[in-house]
């Protein structure tokens, strides 16, 4: 089946630094990828839709200058959390569409100290 990977799987950083998370579709091309955030015991919340070759579409309440998304190729989308703060600590999950199914990556655990 279609596989989506994320890197890194976990990251710890100091407050004020920036962190980049990569999302790759390993065996298929994805013109559209999605970034979600999941807090403990909560459901996944869509942050933004990443479109290859164009600007991402952000959900209401998500700061586009803080969460920079780049979808430079059909197999790679990156999410950069700029000037991270402790409240940005969360589980970030990407997904990519293949056929009529959305395949999720394994997630990245971000902890901001």
Partner 1 sequence: KNQVEQSPQSLIILEGKNCTLQCNYTVSPFSNLRWYKQDTGRGPVSLTIMTFSENTKSNGRYTATLDADTKQSSLHITASQLSDSASYICVVTLNYGGSQGNLIFGKGTKLSVKP
Asked whether position 49 contacts partner 1 by CB under 8 A, the answer is: yes
Determine whether 108 is exposed, middle or buried from the number of CB atoms within 10 Å of its CB (0-12, 13-18, 19+).
buried
Q: In what order do the strands lie in the sheet with 4-7?
A: 4-7, 19-25, 76-81, 67-73
Does residue 44 sit in helix, strand or coil? Answer: coil
100 touches partner 1 (CB under 8 A): yes
For the bound state, the minimum distance from the C-beta of residue 86 to partner 1, rounded and expressed in Å, comes to 19
Rg (CA), the chain: 13
- Establish if 61 lies at the interface with partner 1 (CB under 8 A): no
| Closest to partner 1 by CB, 16 or 64 | 64
Q: Which is nearer to partner 1, 18 or 31 (CB)?
A: 31
Q: Which residues bind partner 1 (CB under 8 A)?
A: 4, 6, 32, 34, 41-46, 49, 91, 93, 95, 97, 100-107, 109
């Amino acid at each position: 089946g279609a596989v989506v990977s994320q890197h890194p799987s976990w990251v710890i950083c100091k407050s004020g630094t920036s962190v980049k998370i990569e999302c790759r579709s390993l065996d298929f091309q994805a013109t559209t990828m999605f970034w979600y955030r999941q807090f403990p015991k909560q459901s996944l919340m869509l942050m933004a839709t990443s479109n290859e070759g164009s600007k991402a579409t952000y959900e209401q309440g998500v700061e586009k200058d803080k969460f920079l998304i780049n979808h430079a190729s059909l197999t790679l989308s990156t999410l950069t959390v700029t000037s991270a703060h402790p409240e940005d600590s969360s589980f970030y999950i990407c997904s990519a569409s293949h056929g009529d199914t959305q395949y999720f990556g394994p997630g990245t655990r971000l902890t901001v100290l």
